[in-house]
Every structure is written in C-alpha cells, then in structure tokens.
Structure 1
Amino acid sequence: MGLAGIVLALALLMWLAYRGWSVLLLSPAAALLAAAISGEPLLAHWTQTFMPGAARFIAQWFPMFLLGGLFGKLMDDSGSIKSIANFLTAKLGVRRTMLSVVLASAVVTYGGVSVFVAFFVLVPMTRELFRAANIPARLMPAAIGLGAFTFTMSVMPGTPSVNNAIPMPYFGTTTFAAPGLGIVTSIVIAAFGMWWLKRAEARARHAGEVYVDTADTAPVIDEMSRERATAAGDFDPAEFEHGKRSIGEPPFILALLPLVVVISVNFLMSLLVLPNLDLTFLAADRWGAVTSAAVAGVWSVVVALTAAIVTLIVINYRRLPSLRESLDAGAKGSVLPIMTVASLVGFGAVIAALPAFKAVQDAVLEVPGGPLVSLVVAMNALAGLTGTASGGMAIVLNTLGETYMQLATEHGIDPALMHRLTTISAGTLDALPHNGTVLLLLQISHLTHRESYLDMVMTVIVSVIIGLAVAFVLGSTFGSF
C-alpha cells in the first residue's frame, strides 16, 4: 500500500499541476495523501518533515533566487538585454538569422539573466528578424529555446543558473565543475540544434512557407501559465511588467560588462579566492558545522551576482527611470519560484521518510550500469515527471545526494563528473509539453504546441540527450576534465 500511495501521490501532483493547480497547494496535499495511505502520522509529517525540507531549500538558495531576480530585472529595465540582442543581430545580419537568435539568447542567459525575463525581449526581436528573413514564425521557439535553456542553463561551466548550482552543496563542487566536459557537450548540443534549425528552415522554404505574423499584441500571462512557469524557472512572469524601463539603450560594451563581471568574479571566487581562505571556522556549530566545500560554490555565485548588480547600477544609473521600482519587482519576482520549488522539495522529503521509499531507493540504485547510470536515470525521470529541472534535481539530491556522494567515493568517481552529469540529465525531459518554460515561451510567441513543439523537441530535448550521451561516454572513459 505504501508504494501505491507514493505512485498515486506523484501522479496526482503531476496531473493537477499540468491542469494549472498551484504546486504550493498540491505538494503538501500530495505528500499527506502518500503518508495517509502508508498509515503515517499526518500532522507530524506536515510540520516535522515537509516544512523542514522546504525550509532547508529556501535557507540555502534564497540569496541566489533573490540576486538572480534583481539582476535580470535591472538588465531588462536598463535596456541592456535589448542592446546586446540588437548588436549581435545587426552584426550577423538577416542571412544568419537563426545563428543571431541562438547566439543572442545564449549570451544573455549564460550571463545570468533569467530565461523568463529574456523571453520578453528575445521574442519581439526574433519576430522582426524572422519577418525580414521571411522564415516561418513557428520556428521561433525552437531557435530561442536552443540558445536560452539548453547548454547555457546547465551544461556550460560557470553559468550562474540555479540548475547549475543545486548540485554544489551535495558534491562539494562549483559551477565550473568538469569544464572541459561541459564545453564539449555544449558544442555538441549547439551543433545539432543549429543543424536542425537550418534543415527546418530549408525545408520550409522548399515547401513555399513564408513568414506570417502571429499576434503582435503584448501577451497576457494568465494564472495557469504563471503557476506552471514559476515551477520551472527562477522569476515570476507577473513581475515583468512592474518597474520602469529605460527609453534608451546602453552601448553594447557597457551592456555586456555586467555579464562579464558575473562570469569573471564567479571564476575568481571559485578557483582562486575562496580555496585560499581559511574557512575552518565553518566547522563550529554556530555556522552549521559545514565544510567550506559545501558553501564555497554558493558564495562564489552570490558574490558574482552582487558585483554584477552594483556594476549594472553604477553604469546605468541615469538609464533606470525608477531604481526602487525595478529593485522591488526583481525581489518580488524571486519569491513565488523559490517557494514553488521548495514545496516540491518538501514533498520529496515526506516521500523519502515513508517506509516504502526504501524499495524505491533500492530500485533506483540497483539500475544496471553503476552509480552514473543510476544518477542519469533518476534525474531524467524526476525532471520529466515534475516538468522542472530544478525541482526534479532538488528532489533527487535531497533524498539521495549523500548516497550518490558515498557511491562516488567508493567507485573512485570524481564528484565534478557527478555534478555535470546531474545538471545535463535534469535538462533533458524537463522540457516535455507540460514544462512551464515551454508553455510560457509558446504563449509569449502566440504559437501552439501543434505549430512549434516538434521543432522544440529536436532543439531542446533531442539535442541535449545526444549531448548527455557524449558526456556520459567521455566521462566514463576519461573521467572528469
């Protein structure tokens, strides 16, 4: 009965979330349903299991969500995202429209801008480029998706995304884990995705397809889309229209500077500064009795984002019509996403505490092929079921992270390899049709699954699966590099 309860709870959570129900409500309800079927005490699981699990996630990741929200909103309101996108597309020209869109999407998101904030700038830009190049509008989401939420989300070393950060405390790594493997995998993903986009463009032209305007009206983000999106991202779309945007744009170099600051400061903190500091004081109870490896990765990203925000404000102070409103919108935009993912983590904590979970754990760990295969399977399954890379990753690592670290030690596996395979695996099946990022991009583009999803499957799912296969083979053969 206990195992049936776990399956039923997960099925209801997935189905009702797809129907637009709030995960904040569904997660505790589904967790308590599983506990009730298992004959476990309900109130104890709610207050002593669910809440501590959710609270630990918030305590650990709130600084990153908060700073990420502020950075993304300030980049948008200052006109920096638009400046970068316009410069790249102008340089590459209409003949390289697909490359322009992918590159512009990749640059801003690799620099730390939330994909949700970027979408509202990238979609209008892409629409104009596709109109000029006479490329069917249905290919817009596939092009934006390839640049915005594949290799820059979880594969490229140093990307300050939450998805690339979540494994750090469990494996004692940084966002630069397995840099060589990440770069090779990113090239594979980008190359396959670009090949598909050019092929799709050529076939469309051969069939006589032309650009037809989708609605140019500003998209209305309804509550259902908002709920789905916040479970999959790190910014609340409802806050996008709050704050005030600059009328003008900064020069390209100034617009790019905050992104350079994020990556360079993160690199310096991760590999040069923190490793050379005496952080033994963290072993004291007052600091949680943690190791420096457990917090260094998070601290590096937090310092990097803070430095970038200060840089952004200083160089764009006159371009920010209302700094306070922009800061307020960025801060508020981080709240619902972190609460949503934390609620999913609380659900996972209750499931892990049920007696029947031992059978689930044994089944996962006994997948033929060893710890790396088991890890890849678990990440793909949970990310696909929940429709969120960060949520699925957090559930797996919160319940099995210590076990996988022990297995890595026993089998001589570099934790950096575990980190990189974890992030790549969580970024594959998360983009199934119910994923909030996919839904929001289609809604902003005024397109449907029927029109655009097949090409999205090829650029944001198949490309990453191919990249994962390459990373797995290289990692298994040569280890982390």
Structure 2
Amino acid sequence: MGLFGILVALCVLIWLAYRGWSVLLLAPIAALIAVAFAREPLLAHWTITFMNGAARFVAQFFPIFLLGALFGKLMDDSGSVTAIAHFMADKLGPRRAILSVVLAGAFVTYGGVSLFVAFFVLAPMAQELFSKAGTPRRLAPAAIALGTSTFTMSALPGTPAIQNAIPMPFFGTTAFAAPGLGVMAALIMFGFGMWWLMRSERAAQRRGEGYGDAPAAAVDVSQDQIIRDRAAASHEFDIAEIPHGHRGDRPGILIAILPLLVVVGVNLVMSLVLIPRMDDSFLSEERWGPTTLAAVGGVWSVIVALAVAIVTLIALNWRRLTQIRESVDAGVTASALPLLSVASLVGFGAVVAAMPAFAAVRTWVLSIDGGPLVSLAIATNVLASLTGSASGGLTIALDTLGETYLRLAEKQGIDPALLHRVAVIGAGTLDSLPHNGAVVTLLAVCGCTHKESYFDIVIVAILGAILALAAVIAVGSAFGSF
C-alpha cells in the first residue's frame, strides 16, 4: 500500500498542478496522501519531515534566488536587456532573425538574467524580426527557448542558473564543474537546435508560408494567476513583478553587457582562485554545523558574483534607475514565490523518501543498467517531468539519492564534477513538457498556442538536450571528467 500511496500522491500533484493549482498547497496535500497510505504519523511528517526538507532548501539557496531575481529585475529596468537584444538584432538583421533571437537570449541568461525577464523582451523583438524576414511566427517560442532554456541553463560552465547551483552542496562542486563536457553539450544543443529551426524556416519558405497571421491580442500574462503559479515552480522569478518598477532609457552596449561579464568573471575567480585558497578552519567550529568548504564554496561563489554585479549595475545605471526603490522591491519580492514553491516540492520529496516503500524505488533506480551516470540521468529526467520543474525535480533526486550516488561514484572512480553535469543536463530535458510553467508563459507571451509551436519546442529544448546528455554520459564514461 505504501508504494501505491506514493503513486497516488504523484498523480494528485501532477493532475492538479496541470490544472493550475498552487504547488504551495498541493505539495503538502500530496505528501499527506502518501503518509496516510503508509499509515505513518500525519502531523509529524508534515511539521517535521516536510518542513525540514523545505527549510533546508530555503537555507541553502535563498541568497541565490534573492540576488538572482534582483539582478534580473535591475537589468530589465535599466534597459540593459533591451539594449542587448536590439544590438543583436541590428548587427545580424532580419535575414538572421532566428540567430539574433537565440544569441540575444543566450547572452543575457548566461549572464544571470532570469529567462522570464528575457521572455518579455525577446518576444516583441522576435515578432518584429520574423515579420520583416517572413519567418513563421510559430517558430519564435522555440527560438527563444533555445537561447534561454537549454545550454545556458544546464550546460555552459559557470552559468549562475539555480539549476546549475543545486548540485554544488551535494557533490562539493562549483558552477564550473566538468567545463569541457559542458561546452561540448552546449555546442550540441545549440547546433542541433539551430539546424532544426533553419530547416523549418526553409521548409516554410518553400511552402510559401510566410510570417502568418498577427498574434492574438496581448494577454497580461503577469496577472494571470494560473500561469503565475505554474511559472513559480519552474524558475526563480515571479512574473507578477515584471510590470513593477520603471524601465529607463537604453544604455550603450558596453554598459549593458558589463554586469553580465562581471557575473561570469567574479564567479570564475571565486570558484577557481579565492575559495580554494580560503582558510576554512573556522568551519570546524560547532556553531557552523557539520559542513565543509567544498559543500558551501560553490554557492558562496555565485552569491558574491551576483552581489558584485548588482553593485556594478547600479553604479553604471544610477541615472536610468529613476525609481530604484520600486525596482529593488519588485526584484526581491519576485524571488519569494518561486523559492517557496520549489521548497514545497522539495518537502514533498523529503516525505516520499521517508516512506518505508521508497526503499523499493531506490533499489529500482540504482539497479538500472548503465551505471550511476545513466541511473542519475533517468532519475532527474523522471522527477523533473513529474514536477514540471527542473530545479524541483533535481533537488528531490539529490535530496533522496545524492549521497548514494556520491558513494557509488567514489567506489567507481567517477569525478563528482561529472555527476554534477549529468544531473543538471538531465533535469533540463523532460522538464519542458506541456505543463511546465516556462513553456506556458513563453507561449502566452508570444501569442502562440501549444498546437502551433510546442512541437518545435520539443525538438530544440527536449530532444537536443537528450542528445547532449547522451554524449556527455558516453564521453564522460570513456574519458572521465574534463
């Protein structure tokens, strides 16, 4: 009955989340269903097991959610995201409309801007460029997804995306884990995605398809509660805060990109130079709990990088940020709902892992042919698809099985950095199913439907990521991490 209860709890969570119910409420309800079937203490699991799991996630990643959302909002309100998007459009022109959209999205998200912030800037840019080029507007969501939600989220070394930060305390790694394999995976995702989009564009031109009808009247996506709740569990920015604050005039391109370069550069210096040389003897004191520099160093690097970038951004754009208090308030507020939504999913995972029947699940997952890398990839894929959240699915997988995978890796001589990269890429594949909050938001912002555009999203965001994941596992298994 315990295993059946876990399946019922998952079904309830998936079905009601797909219908737009808030994960904040669904996760504890689903957890209590699993507990009831197992005939375990209800209140004890809710107030202790569930809350300890959720609180642990908040304690580990609240600073990254907070600073990441604030940085994205300030980049938007300073006009920097718009400046970068228009620079790409001006340099590449309508003839390379798809490439312009992909590169603009990739540049800003790799620099630390939330993909939701990028959506609201890139969608009108894509419509304008695609209309001039005669490229079907139905391809715009896939082009934006390729640039914002694939290789810059899970593959490129150093990306400050929360998904890339989650494995760090579990495996003692940094955001630059397995850089060579990450670059290889990024090239596969980018190359395959661009091949598909250009192929689709040429096929449409041969059919005389053209741009198509004008998109439907703009919908205020930021105020749609169902879309907002779905989006909150999938990424680190609450779309309801997008309209708040005031967007200033666009800065020059150098001022616009400098904060992004600061994020990557400071993260690199912290991860590879400063943190490894830090005197960590103070961490042995009882007041810091059972931790090590390896467990916290990666998170510290990302926090410092975002903080320095925020200070740089404000200093460069002080006159443009005419309502800076409103922008700051909106940015920090935008971190709260996504943080608690993902934490609630993590609490659900903690309860499921505490059920006696979960031992059978753990045994099955670890017995999958192919070794720990294949098993880890499947586990993160499945959980990300079930929760509709790469960050939620990844954290549940590592919370429940992370220590086991690390022990197996040590026995088999597998570098934890390779585990890190496989886990992150694995979580960024099947999370892009139709109910994913980022997919729903992107389609709505672009004025497209699932019927029109979702198939192309599947190809560039799911199939391309799976190909990259398979390549990383194959090469990593043969040659190790690099």
The one-letter amino acid paired with 1:118 is: A
Cα offset, 1:217, TM superposition:
2.9
SS in 1 for 2:54: helix
Cα deviation 1:230-249 (Å, max 9, x = unaligned): 11010000011111111x11
Cα offset, 1:89, TM superposition:
1.3
1:386 equivalent in structure 2 = 387
Partners of 2:337 and 2:356 in 1: how far apart? 31
Contact 1:263–1:304 (CA under 8 A) maintained in structure 2: yes
2:362 equivalent in structure 1 = 361
2:420 equivalent in structure 1 = 419
Within 5 Å, give how 1:107-146 maps onto structure 2: 107-146=107-146
1:59 equivalent in structure 2 = 59
2:305 equivalent in structure 1 = 304
2:256 equivalent in structure 1 = 255
Q: Does 1:3 align with 2:7?
A: no
Within 5 Å, give how 1:260-339 maps onto structure 2: 260-339=261-340
Cα offset, 1:384, TM superposition:
0.9
Contact 2:54–2:347 (CA under 8 A) maintained in structure 1: yes
1:436 equivalent in structure 2 = 437
Within 5 Å, give how 1:76-155 maps onto structure 2: 76-155=76-155
Contact 1:72–1:114 (CA under 8 A) maintained in structure 2: yes
* Unmatched runs of 5 consecutive residues or more in structure 1: none
1:213 equivalent in structure 2 = 214
Partners of 1:72 and 1:176 in 2: how far apart? 21
TM-score under structure 2 length normalisation: 0.99
Partners of 1:476 and 1:280 in 2: how far apart? 35
Contact 1:219–1:446 (CA under 8 A) maintained in structure 2: no
SS in 1 for 2:215: coil
Cα deviation 1:390-448 (Å, max 9, x = unaligned): 00000010111111111111111000000000000000000011111000000111110
Partners of 2:254 and 2:272 in 1: how far apart? 26
Cα offset, 1:261, TM superposition:
0.1
Contact 1:69–1:330 (CA under 8 A) maintained in structure 2: yes
Partners of 1:325 and 1:81 in 2: how far apart? 18
TM-score under structure 1 length normalisation: 0.99
Partners of 2:284 and 2:52 in 1: how far apart? 22
Contact 1:280–1:292 (CA under 8 A) maintained in structure 2: no
Partners of 1:277 and 1:381 in 2: how far apart? 38
Q: Does 1:37 align with 2:34?
A: no
The one-letter amino acid paired with 1:236 is: D
Cα offset, 1:93, TM superposition:
1.3
Cα offset, 1:180, TM superposition:
0.4
Query: Could you tell which deviates more after superposition, 278-287 or 404-413?
Result: 278-287
SS in 2 for 1:310: helix
Cα offset, 1:218, TM superposition:
5.2
Contact 1:388–1:435 (CA under 8 A) maintained in structure 2: yes
Partners of 2:176 and 2:163 in 1: how far apart? 13
Partners of 1:450 and 1:213 in 2: how far apart? 16
Cα deviation 1:54-79 (Å, max 9, x = unaligned): 00000110000000010000000000
The one-letter amino acid paired with 1:461 is: I
Query: Could you tell which deviates more after superposition, 399-408 or 265-274?
Result: 399-408
SS in 2 for 1:318: coil
Cα deviation 1:309-359 (Å, max 9, x = unaligned): 000000000001200000000000000000000000000011111111111
Cα offset, 1:198, TM superposition:
0.3
SS in 2 for 1:255: helix
Cα offset, 1:469, TM superposition:
1.1
Partners of 1:143 and 1:183 in 2: how far apart? 20
Contact 2:70–2:331 (CA under 8 A) maintained in structure 1: yes
Cα offset, 1:216, TM superposition:
5.4
Contact 1:280–1:291 (CA under 8 A) maintained in structure 2: no
1:223 equivalent in structure 2 = 225
Partners of 2:481 and 2:423 in 1: how far apart? 13
Cα deviation 1:89-116 (Å, max 9, x = unaligned): 1111111111111000000000000001
Q: Does 1:375 align with 2:361?
A: no
Cα offset, 1:210, TM superposition:
1.4
Partners of 2:217 and 2:324 in 1: how far apart? 29
2:13 equivalent in structure 1 = 13
The one-letter amino acid paired with 1:243 is: G
2:50 equivalent in structure 1 = 50
SS in 2 for 1:113: coil
Partners of 1:338 and 1:99 in 2: how far apart? 32
Cα offset, 1:136, TM superposition:
1.1
Q: Does 1:238 align with 2:227?
A: no
Contact 1:122–1:144 (CA under 8 A) maintained in structure 2: yes
Report the identity percentage: 61
Contact 2:221–2:227 (CA under 8 A) maintained in structure 1: no
Contact 1:282–1:292 (CA under 8 A) maintained in structure 2: yes
Query: Could you tell which deviates more after superposition, 436-445 or 280-289?
Result: 280-289
The one-letter amino acid paired with 2:165 is: A
Contact 2:219–2:444 (CA under 8 A) maintained in structure 1: no
Partners of 1:103 and 1:363 in 2: how far apart? 41
Cα offset, 1:215, TM superposition:
3.1
2:169 equivalent in structure 1 = 169
Partners of 1:292 and 1:17 in 2: how far apart? 37
The one-letter amino acid paired with 2:228 is: R
The one-letter amino acid paired with 2:473 is: F
Partners of 2:136 and 2:106 in 1: how far apart? 21
Cα deviation 1:17-37 (Å, max 9, x = unaligned): 001011000000110110011
Partners of 2:190 and 2:34 in 1: how far apart? 41
SS in 1 for 2:275: helix
Cα deviation 1:242-285 (Å, max 9, x = unaligned): 11111x11000000000000000000000000100111211222
Partners of 1:275 and 1:123 in 2: how far apart? 41
SS in 2 for 1:480: coil
